[in-house]
């Protein structure tokens, strides 16, 4: 599990927990200009895409299948839903080798998740989380937290990764 005390990526910012207040740690990351957070308890490690041994890199959503520490895992490209600017910057179907991959330990197994960038670990107090208006059917959305003037959408990554895609996946 990744926590603010054992995070190995030096570029990841750590925001200290407020004193005397119970809070949860979330790993924050960027996708298409929006900051998101997922429970740090689900994060096994952070890797750079270039450091993974990849094969079968033809899918749009399942960006590739990769090997890390002897474990073969699917790598889901979360940018596939709307980050055309990123695709233009790295070329069609390619990602820069320094692209961030969050390795997740989910109830269904180990999965890699490609994001634009990991921004840090944030501590969220329960009272800082507000429901998201207009998203009643999205059970994977926990809510929005306001942290130091930032809006972070909190997601239940197990629920999100258990959803079936709306369109068929291309073969990986």
Answer yes or no: is 170 within a domain.
no
pTM for the structure as a whole: 0.74
- Counted domains in the chain: 1
pLDDT band at 81 (very low <50, low <70, confident <90, very high): low
Strand pairing report for 34-39 and 129-130: unpaired
Answer yes or no: is 99 within a domain.
yes
Determine the structural domain holding residue 88 and report its residue range: 13-161
Token pair of 129 as six digits: 């989380």
Answer yes or no: is 169 within a domain.
no
- Of 117 and 2, which is predicted with more confidence? 117
Answer yes or no: is 79 within a domain.
yes
Bridge partners of 143? 154
Token pair of 103 as six digits: 């390795």
d(CA 70, CA 9): 21
Cβ(154)–Cβ(141) below 8 Å: yes
Answer yes or no: is 2 within a domain.
no
- Of 145 and 80, which is predicted with more confidence? 145
Answer yes or no: is 1 within a domain.
no
Question: Closest by alpha carbon to 118, among 132, 142, 96, 100?
Answer: 100
Token pair of 57 as six digits: 């890199």
- Mean pLDDT to the nearest integer, 14-21: 54
Answer yes or no: is 119 within a domain.
yes
Answer yes or no: is 172 within a domain.
no
């Amino acid at each position: 599990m990744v926590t603010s005390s054992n995070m190995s990526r030096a570029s990841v910012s750590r925001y200290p927990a407020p004193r005397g207040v119970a809070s949860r740690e979330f790993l924050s990351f960027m996708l298409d200009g929006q900051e998101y957070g997922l429970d740090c308890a689900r994060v096994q490690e952070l890797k750079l895409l270039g450091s993974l041994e990849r094969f079968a890199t033809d899918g749009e959503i399942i960006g590739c299948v990769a090997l890390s520490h002897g474990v073969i895992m699917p790598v889901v490209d979360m940018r596939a839903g709307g980050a055309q600017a990123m695709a233009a910057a790295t070329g069609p179907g390619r990602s820069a080798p320094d692209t961030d991959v969050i390795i997740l330990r989910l109830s269904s197994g180990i999965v890699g998740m490609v994001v634009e960038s990991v921004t840090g670990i944030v501590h969220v107090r329960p009272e800082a989380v507000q429901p998201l208006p207009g998203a009643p059917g999205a059970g994977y959305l926990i809510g929005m937290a306001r942290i130091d003037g930032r809006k972070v959408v909190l997601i239940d990554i197990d629920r999100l990764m258990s959803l079936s895609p709306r369109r068929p996946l291309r073969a990986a």
